[in-house]
Copies of this chain bind each other. A is one copy, B any other.
Amino acid sequence: MNATLTPQALRHKIRRGDHTGNTSGLAPGHVQCNIVILPTNWADDFLRFCQLNPRPCPLIAMAEAPGHYALPLLGDVDIRTDVPSYRIFRNGVLADEQTDVTALWSEDLVSFALGCSFSFEEALLADGLEVRNMSEGVNVPMYRTNIDCASAGPFAGKMVVSMRPFKAADAIRAVQICTRFPSVHGAPIHLGNPALIGIEHLAEPDYGDAVSLGEDELPVFWACGVTPQVALESAKPQFAITHSPGCMLVTDLLNSKMAVM
């Protein structure tokens, strides 16, 4: 896979079924999104859930109306085909994984695109910081916390966080860098003692892979886009579609344009 494909060329490749895997590192400089697709009668509550929990659920775009599979703000997107891999949930339970959901589409479905940590990881790297999960070539470790999300109708649950270790001075720099990017999770929500947010064992993440942590490093925690998936599992809508972990929607938006300053 040529990492320097334009977002449009990459989406078209994915649309043709020629790329069905992870999108990490592809189309560098461009925003990638978490995707949630829900029936209309669940969409209003989910929208409110995002509005109430902008750190884990930073909404970047939503379809103009039920049944719309375009997301013109993000490029020439066909949301039914342009994500490399989809997860299909029935009554809150993962039922299937597909590379194209055209056959499952209906006029009743509403699409949401949420910001993703790939954007701020790029900003951290550009500033010379080491992003441990990238240098160790693994998925970022993610943990369920004891932090309650604000609930909206049936959508509720604990916040999921991702963790990256940094020395203190770099952790402070990471706060500064990520503060500029509120629409892709923004500043960390915690650093230091994991037990204070209900994480018992850093070596045993609930999702992703463990990474090494130096004695002179602090674990730094960001609100994570897996949070809405946990809220989905709790709400148990009769039907829902999300992206598969790491297989994001690649958009035409520039990461740099996500900076508020």
Is A169's CB under 8 angstroms from B192's CB?
no
Quick check: is A104 within 8 A (CB to CB) of the other chain? no
Within 8 A of B (CB), among A163-196: 167-169, 171-172, 175-176, 179, 187-193, 196
Cα distance A112–B218 in the bound complex, in angstroms = 37
Enumerate chain A interface residues (CB-CB to B < 8 A). 167-169, 171-172, 175-176, 179, 187-193, 196, 216, 218, 261
Cα distance A188–B167 in the bound complex, in angstroms = 13
Cα distance A190–B176 in the bound complex, in angstroms = 13
Is A168's CB under 8 angstroms from B192's CB?
yes
Is A192's CB under 8 angstroms from B192's CB?
yes
Chain B residues, Cβ within 8 Å of A191: 168, 171-172, 191-192, 218
Given A168-B193, A169-B189: 5 more A-B contacts, CB < 8 Å: A172-B175, A172-B190, A176-B176, A191-B218, A196-B216
Cα distance A191–B193 in the bound complex, in angstroms = 12
Instruction: Tell which of A168, A169, A171, A187 has the most Cβ of chain B within 10 Å.
Output: A168
Cα distance A169–B190 in the bound complex, in angstroms = 6
Is B172's CB under 8 angstroms from A188's CB?
yes
Cα distance A257–B49 in the bound complex, in angstroms = 38
Among residues of B, the one whose C-beta sits closest to the C-beta of A196 is B216
Chain B residues, Cβ within 8 Å of A188: 172
Is B168's CB under 8 angstroms from A176's CB?
no
Among residues of B, the one whose C-beta sits closest to the C-beta of A189 is B169
Is B192's CB under 8 angstroms from A187's CB?
no
